[in-house]
Structure 1
């Protein structure tokens, strides 16, 4: 069974570094990344790196707290909260792993918390 903790730690490291090598290390060559459930995915590691860098956050701009909802042999479902200085999002991630711990398919659902 693949443990999601090292992958999520790597994701947060890449999120904060915006280093192409950190991002690429997370994904298989033919990985797909759905930025929302029914959108067209970013296809292939090189495209994932390029699209990520095109939408990057500033290092340290956000915090991410998470916990596993379900972990199987090759899938992790993670619930999280992303907090920026001016907004907060609830997240649900589905991460499909290959045996070496890299991701072959990533889907994220996110919803902005209401501003009151």
Structure 2
């Protein structure tokens, strides 16, 4: 998580790439097409990068094994939007992510609201 948070805050391509296997998949939503491969993940990440110091992130693990982690988080943007996050991360034996799936929900727009 520390490496992910550092990469998120810096938007440094090398830090981002170091998190993922060469053939990893990153789903920015669980039902969409993923960013594929390390280069594709870095490109997608940088295309959607957050500005430095524009957010805070609090997290707690729901489950951690050598093969997978499930993380619950809260992202607070300085502009005021707050998101609830759920991440499922599957790891290769070397500790890099081989699959990353995220769910994010805008707390200002709860399900069922118009």
TM-score exceeds 0.5: yes
Query: Which among 100, 105, 108 is matched to residue 106 of structure 1?
Result: 100
Asked which structure has the greater RCO (Cα within 8 Å, sep 6+), the reply is: 1
Q: Which runs of 5+ in 2 are unaligned?
A: 110-114
Q: How far off its partner does 1:99 sit?
A: 1.7
Give the structure-1-normalised TM-score: 0.90
Q: How far off its partner does 1:72 sit?
A: 2.2
Confirm or deny that 1:94 pairs with 2:88. Answer: yes
Aligned residue pairs, count: 108
Which residue number corresponds to residue 41 of structure 2?
48
Confirm or deny that 1:9 pairs with 2:10. Answer: no
Query: Which among 64, 69, 73 is matched to residue 62 of structure 2?
Result: 69
Structural RMSD (CA):
0.9
Q: How far off its partner does 1:34 sit?
A: 0.2
1:12 aligned counterpart, secondary structure = helix
Query: Which among 11, 19, 22 is matched to residue 29 of structure 1?
Result: 22
Q: Which runs of 5+ in 1 are unaligned?
A: 1-7
